[in-house]
Amino acid sequence: MGLLTKKEMKQTPIVDDANDARYGVVEIDLDKCNGCRICTLICPSNVLELFGEKHNRRARIKEGLVMCLACDNCHAICDRDAISIVSGYDFAGRYKQLGRGAPSQPRLEWGKPAAGGYTGTVPQCPAAPEMDGRHD
């Protein structure tokens, strides 16, 4: 179309390109999960599904393009504390997140580790290195 410069073209990330978009990651403890299905029902991005034999199902992340928003609602609702996020989402170009820090549970005191994955006093935004070149 010729309406956008090459630089402007790179500013809009392509949502299904791993170089432009990194999505949230959840970790599921298969020993704790009892396949109750509630996380698959409430997930806002529809990224979870059940697998396994009848009466012995577990939750897992779907294959293919999964756009997890790292909302952690699956962790909030899980009766068995079997699932929680490990990292958030980020995009290259115009929508790159700035100064986010690492995910942490509510803290009563800052600078001290809290239950659920606070990783240090000054956490770095865990951006994928290949994205950095695209941000300007």
Would you say 30 or 86 has its CB closer to other proteins? 86
Does 22 interact with other proteins (rule: CB under 8 A)? Answer: no
Q: 3-state secondary structure string, 21-82?
A: EECCEEEECCCCCCCCCHHHHHCCCCCEEEECCCCCCEEEECCCCCCCCCCCHHHHHCCCCC
Does 35 interact with other proteins (rule: CB under 8 A)? Answer: no
Q: Which of 31, 108, 129, 136 binds other proteins (CB under 8 A)?
A: 108
Does 113 interact with other proteins (rule: CB under 8 A)? Answer: no
Does 109 interact with other proteins (rule: CB under 8 A)? Answer: yes
100: left (phi over 0), alpha (psi -120 to 50) or beta: alpha
Does 18 interact with other proteins (rule: CB under 8 A)? Answer: no
Q: Which two tokens stand for residue 132?
A: 């950095």
Q: Which two tokens stand for residue 63?
A: 């294959």
Would you say 44 or 133 has its CB closer to other proteins? 44
Does 103 interact with other proteins (rule: CB under 8 A)? Answer: yes
Pick from 83, 98, 95, 90: nearest CA to 23:
90
Residues that bind other proteins (CB under 8 A): 1, 3-4, 8-9, 11-16, 21, 38, 41-42, 44-46, 65, 67, 69, 71-73, 75-79, 81, 84-85, 88-89, 91, 94-95, 98-111, 116-118, 121-123, 125
